[in-house]
Amino acid sequence: MRLDGKVALVTGAGSGIGRETALLFAENGARVACVDLSAEANEATVAAIAAQGSEAIAIAADVSSAEDSERMVATTTARFGALHVAFNNAGIMHSDDGDAVATSERTWDLTMNINAKGVFLGCKYEIPAISASGGGSIINTASFVAIMGAATPQIAYTASKGAVLAMTRELAVVHARDGIRLNALCPGPLRTELLMKFLDTDEKKERRLVHIPMGRFGEAAEMAQAALWLASDESSFVTGTDFVVDGGITAAYVTPES
């Protein structure tokens, strides 16, 4: 199994990409710490992992809190004795997020606190734990919109994911010789509850779909497969990348720098 003997921590494990990834990591041999603000959803993920014969724990935590972030890592290492893989995936896409004129300061601050600060705090406490465990992989969820912008305005979300890309690149360089790899997973538009709530009309959905060469929304399970590769030793020479899994949308619309 691709993560046999590994300990993994997954934030946002109660739904969407986080849930699918936690299940896949466990299926591939990892012991998994599932982290989510929703205790009920998180426990359901842990129960599903247990049902497939794997080991997991549920940790209720707010990733925008330094205290909670430190606790989630400490709880993981206390239970499993190590940390080898961290997937900083928890995030929000606020329904009131729009362009710079329409978006409130409150929506901006909330989005940045969870999507950007949450990744920073995760890395802050995960890096020492992974180093003490002999090295490993950190995967931070960004987005294709951090590379090309969004057809449907969502300035706070886009900016927060751009911050994730920048943080991931810098930390990858800083820790490259410490045995810690950091990569940003950049999903394209997905058929998840998070995005479908944001694209709450057929018109908004069509504005996204028309730009995707493959002609469909991606699935959370497809992102989990990408995260598994980045977590595994199969990607041992991969660090500092914007790992784009988007159905071809950036290939169609982003012009490479000359």
Instruction: Using DSSP, state whether 243 is helix, strand or coil.
Output: strand
Of these residues, 157, 198, 217, 243, which one is catalytic?
A: 157
SS3 content of the chain, % helix, strand, coil (to 5): 50, 15, 35
10, 33 in Cβ contact below 8 A? yes
Q: Which of 197, 200, 195 is nearest to 216 (CA)?
A: 195
34, 58 in Cβ contact below 8 A? yes
Could you give the maximum distance between any two Cα atoms of the chain, in Å?
51
C-alpha 112: how far from its chain's center?
A: 14
> Could you give the CA distance from residue 67 to residue 65 in angstroms, rounded to a whole number?
5
157 among known catalytic residues = yes
Sorted by sequence, the CB contacts under 8 Å of residue 32 that are 6+ apart come out as: 7, 8, 9, 10, 13, 22, 25, 26, 49, 54, 55, 56, 57
> Could you give the CA distance from residue 111 to residue 97 in angstroms, rounded to a whole number?
9
* Residues assigned a catalytic role: 157
